């Protein structure tokens, strides 16, 4: 589990840097400033939660012997991954929507808050996991 979140965190952090560069240099001339701001929000949240996955991986490594704690932390990591995909992914899709002839915005738009909710619940579960862990490492 440590390795899974470590690798995802590294990959998503790198991807967010690439997407940020794409937004700053490639999209700047293609989409209006308001849409570019939406794209940048997706990049920012992806990067923040990629870093959170890295921190979570190290937190998991510190609690490797506590199986109950590992279950709680695994739920957190999975919610972060789902949240990044739904929240940031939907913002990227909405930004690129005008460049595609098919209008999928009505399907994608409602996904954004679900992704945000996954991120929020992930943070809440991580906090709960820390509170419930009575073992000092």
pLDDT reported for residue 107: 82
pLDDT tens figures, 66-87: 788 888 899 999 999 999 999 9
How far is residue 34 CA from its own chain's centroid?
22
pLDDT reported for residue 121: 98
pLDDT reported for residue 132: 86
Instruction: Provide the token pair at 68.
Output: 């109950």
Low-confidence ranges of the chain (pLDDT < 70): 135-137
pLDDT reported for residue 133: 82
Instruction: Provide the token pair at 92.
Output: 């990227």
pLDDT reported for residue 8: 97
Instruction: Provide the token pair at 37.
Output: 């701001």
pLDDT reported for residue 101: 75
Helix, strand or coil, per DSSP, at residue 135? coil
Our CA dihedral for 16, 21, 23, 24, rounded to 10 degrees, sits at 140
- How far is CA 95 from each of CA 39, 122, 125, rounded to the nearest angstrom? 6, 25, 31
Our CA dihedral for 38, 41, 45, 46, rounded to 10 degrees, sits at 60
């Amino acid at each position: 589990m440590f390795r899974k979140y470590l690798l995802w965190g590294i990959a998503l952090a790198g991807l967010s840097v690439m997407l940020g560069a794409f937004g700053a240099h490639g999209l700047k001339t293609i989409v209006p400033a308001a849409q570019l701001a939406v794209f940048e929000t997706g990049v920012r949240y992806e990067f923040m939660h990629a870093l959170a996955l890295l921190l979570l991986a190290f937190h998991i490594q510190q609690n490797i012997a506590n199986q109950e704690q590992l279950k709680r932390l695994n739920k957190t990591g999975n919610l972060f991954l789902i949240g990044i995909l739904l929240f940031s992914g939907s913002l990227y899709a909405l930004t690129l929507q005008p460049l595609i002839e098919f209008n999928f915005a009505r399907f994608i738009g409602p996904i954004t808050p679900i992704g945000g909710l996954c991120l929020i619940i992930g943070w809440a579960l991580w906090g709960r996991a820390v509170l419930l862990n009575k073992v000092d490492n």
